[in-house]
Structure 1
Amino acid sequence: MEQTQGAGVHVLWRWQDWEDRYRGRYAVVIDVLRATTTLITVLARGAEAVLPVAGLEEARALARSRPGWLLGGERDNVAPPGFDGGNSPADYPPERVAGRRLVFTTTNGTRALDRVRTGGAATVALGALVNAGAVARAARASGRPAVLVCAGTEGVLSLEDVLAAGAMARYWPPEARSDEAQLAAWAYERMQADLPRALNLARHAASLRARGLEADIGWAAREDLFDLVPVVGTQGWITAGL
């Protein structure tokens, strides 16, 4: 595994655990099922930029204000009425998103991004299994302490996010990992041989299967699919980064 120089790494199990003491750190927001997985995929397929928005009506108003902007996201795993797509990577093929901007809102993931962005992180990057190696290398290369922020589900820990955090935490030596980062790395190492099965054990995966979204789980389990590190800019827009 490639190693670079840098400070230590910590893991938060839920975005609600972000505190002022994490200001100035390199933050990676992780929502494997499905927001960060989908947004990383959208940018890898050529979208110009994505704007995560916490509120449904705010997202609708922004999309209406600019002809040509796409509107995507979900509530209860379903695209709201009038949206161009949901929270599934399959909704955003390259021919649809290339060169375009997307306003995006979800039940939990975009709230996590908003909390960390407004909470004083020096950098806010998007992470998931699909770009775990790339974002971990970028975080280490920054030279700042890193905090891997799991989105969680309904305010509690999510297995899929912990596994992605563990895949990233392994890029730091054990002595540079917090106890939480070490636990995440151990969990990943225990389950890395069959990540699709591991993700299907997660509580949130059951609700996706009930909606017929099994393919999204399989896509989210594809580790290091993209060499891409999306970063949130000063105006809140996310661009492809590395």
Structure 2
Amino acid sequence: MLINPAFEKAIALQKWHDRKKAQHKDITVLPSLLIKNAKQVKIVDIIDASFDDKEVKYCRFNAKIKDILNKDDPWYSSCKRFYKKVDFINNIAKCPRCRIEKVDYEERYLLKLEVFDKKEHCYVTLFEATRYLLGCDAKTYTESISPKKEESTFYRKLVLSKEKEYTFLVKIDARNEGDRAGRRLIAEEIQEVEEAIAINIEDEDIELESPIRKTKHIEDDTDDKITYKRVKIEKN
């Protein structure tokens, strides 16, 4: 599909993209419609299952990160076929499920957090959703921490996430009943609360940057013709 680059909304969208790029933001990890539209709940609602699973598929809750349980190694070497953790024997990757001599593997995220709100706490595991928190994929992260992780921008971002408030998106179904009882949840997306608010404001600015025009009908007494006048509504 081709978009006329002179179209006002296309210009506004390009300006928005340029702002994000200047801020070193990956637009693929900005809040999705799923997390925006999910039902807002509390940790206690999920743990106690105080809502109907048949009605709620996804929900979100706000909580602060109390502790990062594996901040020094938030990833694992994964078999590309079965996503199982591989073991290295004489520098050769072995998968517990594959029956081949040497398996192909890749780095995948596995981040474990302890979070809390005003009344409850729980443990949250992030797999690929860690990308929303750090702003990069697992391969980029592991490359950035070599040779010293303290010099990595992504590592510092992870460490500084403690005590900050985030919105966590989780999927609720009958299979997660045991996990909820153990206060252990898997989040499919995570966004910093203040950042999400700022993005919503910017989204509104995008709409307002495009002039809104209305057509006003004015009757001309000199003849029976109707003329049209464009009225531009300026942004406040």
Q: Fold-level match, TM-score > 0.5?
A: no
Structure richer in helix, relative to its length: 1
Compare CA radii of gyration and give the structure with the larger one: 2
Structure richer in strand, relative to its length: 2
Question: Structure 1 length normalisation: TM-score?
Answer: 0.22
Question: Structure 2 length normalisation: TM-score?
Answer: 0.23
Higher RCO, Cα 8 Å, sep 6+: 1
